[in-house]
Amino acid sequence: MIYNRIIGRLDIKGPNLVKGIHLEGLRVLGKPDVFAKLYVEEGIDELFYQDVVASLYERNSLLDLIKKTANSISIPLTVGGGIRSLNDIDQILKSGADKIAINTAAIKNPEIIYQAAKVYGSSTIVVTLEVSKLINNIHCVYTDNGREFWDINAIDWAKRVENLGAGEILLTSIDNEGTGKGFDITITQKISESVNIPVIAHGGAKTSIDIIKVLTETQARAVAISSMLHYGYLDKVQLNSSNYEEGNTDFIKKNINYKDYAKTSIIDIKKALLPKILTRI
Amino acid sequence: MTIAIINYGASNLYSVKNCLNRLNLKSIITSDDEIIRQSSAAILPGVGAFGQAMYNIKKLKLDYSIYKFIETGKPFLAICLGMQLLFEKSCEFSQNKGLGLLQGDVKLIGGNKNLKVPHIGWNKINLVNRSTKNSVYLKNYDDDFMYFVHSYYVNPADEKIVLTKTNYQDFIFCSSVEYKNIIAFQFHPEKSGEKGLNIFRNLKKKIS
């Protein structure tokens, strides 16, 4: 049997849960730990926190958030964003995260994957690949939430991170992220067939049909979803607009529903995947 | 009543501690022989590499503390890599010797099958010999989802100690064992939601 994983991805900026399009134009949606706890109660399989700013001065607020979250949930939590050293990894794991995700640090110094896997075990180390398709149809990798381009072929890089000891790959399609146009099937298929480690497809999910498509047409057995989840649950989360001081909060203050995404629940998403796709229900 | 979480540098110590805190179970993360031996129960957690773990355990002389603790007959729980360390040897990276408390070895998942490794995610545990097994820890459990993260699995020499098995794309492996006061899980009860927490509640009943 294989039970596919539905992973809730939460982009974090300072104290807030945010969401953008193509990893940019961030909107503040609320308190991450409030959403996280609700998702766990509703049956999400794992959580993934991505610190999208990852500046050093906000480090302690991220660690506090990890502690707070880890104390209230008992399913796996992966944390990524701004991890530069084994010491950073150590701090995040000590705060209660179960896995860490790296991108920029791995590209700048691939050896960090090997070193981290040796100390913490491969299964603790997730490598994030932020990819985008060039004019010649080749996918290359980016860092810093899609801001910095590296002339590295995404498939070659995926194989290399596997050889260095990564336990999982989180594959983000920058082209599709936040757009709701479905996953990038082509690159997900190519990468999930090129490596033997699990691949998590991320970027573009709007409906259960998108999830079925990527889990049946590629070797990925896990998806990370965010817009679909956050907008699906927005009205269930108690909004207290006075708590939102930072960033682009107009969206929340006006209490606009994001029309493109249906109100949904995790159990409804999971049921809609049956009978083709099994998950923990 | 304190539970010792044996610290040999494994990375999921804090997940285990968090979990015990939530159940109001007093615990201490320690590598001190005296503290371990005086505890009401001990947990050998584990995420990491087998060789590195054994190296640390020997360096900290924790092998001696573990042997002595188990001799007392008090509950001893091992999780994931902690479970694998109880066996005689592992083929991870190069051949490594384990604690040898249980007979058998540790092997790579999949054999010659083309499976995604590590096996990461939720999967079911199924009791074997249901009529003869009645573990305090897994009472009323069968066909329940638990969270797995591992590349290796244990292959016990004595089938009788096997409590549950798990099927990963038709590759069936041992997912828990029980022998005298030792209970060991390949999955992570501390990461398996309410069903996982219940295992620690059962431990609580046993020691209080």
Q: Where are the domains of chain A?
A: 5-273
CB–CB contacts below 8 A, A to B: 108
pLDDT in tens, B153-172: 999 999 999 999 999 999 99
Judging contacts by C-beta atoms under 8 Å, the chain A residues touching residue B7 are none
Cβ-defined contact of A98 to B15 (cutoff 8 Å): yes
For B75, which DSSP code?
A: -
Q: What angle do CA B148, B152, B158 make, to 5 degrees?
A: 100
Domains of chain B by start residue, with CATH: 3-207 (3.40.50.880)
Specify whether the CB–CB gap between A226 and B121 falls below 8 A: no
Residue A103 CB contacts under 8 Å (≥ 6 apart), including other chains: A80, A127, A128, A129, A130, A143
pLDDT at B95: 76
Out of B9, B11, B122, name the one closest to residue A3 (CB).
B122
CA distance A104 to A142: 8
Chain A positions touching chain B (beta carbons under 8 Å): 1-5, 40, 45, 70-71, 74-76, 93-96, 98, 117-124, 167-168, 196-198, 219, 221-222, 279-280
ipTM of the complex: 0.90
Cβ-defined contact of B122 to A45 (cutoff 8 Å): yes
Out of B22, B122, B149, name the one closest to residue A123 (CB).
B149
Specify whether the CB–CB gap between A196 and A168 falls below 8 A: no
Judging contacts by C-beta atoms under 8 Å, the chain A residues touching residue B194 are 74
CA distance B84 to chain A (A): 14
Judging contacts by C-beta atoms under 8 Å, the chain A residues touching residue B168 are 1-2
β-sheet bridge partners, residue B144: B125
CA distance B33 to A174: 52
For domain A5-273, the CATH superfamily is Aldolase class I (3.20.20.70)
| Closest listed residue to residue A231, CA positions, set A249, A197, A267, A207 | A207
CB proximity under 8 Å: B 49-68 to A: 49, 52
Task: Catalytic residue, from B80, B92, B119, B178: name it.
Answer: B80
Q: Which of A98, A161, A191 to mutate: most B Cβ within 10 Å?
A: A98
Phi, psi (deg, nearest 5) at residue B75: -60, 130
Active site residues of A: 11, 130
What is the crossing angle of helices A154-164 and A185-194, to 10°?
40
CA distance A97 to chain B (A): 7
Residue B90 has pLDDT above 90, yes or no: no
Judging contacts by C-beta atoms under 8 Å, the chain B residues touching residue A119 are 9, 11, 48-49, 52
pLDDT at B130: 61
pLDDT in tens, chain A (281 residues): 899 999 999 999 988 999 887 777 778 888 999 999 999 999 999 999 999 887 666 677 899 999 999 988 989 999 999 899 999 999 999 898 999 999 999 999 999 999 998 888 888 999 999 999 998 889 999 988 788 899 999 999 999 999 999 999 999 999 998 888 999 999 999 999 999 999 999 999 999 999 999 999 999 999 999 999 998 888 787 554 444 455 555 655 554 445 578 788 999 999 999 999 999 99
Tell me which chain B residue has its CA closest to the CA of residue A121: B48
Alpha-carbon dihedral of residues B174, B180, B181, B186, nearest 10 degrees? 0
Q: Is B100 on the interface with A (CB under 8 A)?
A: no
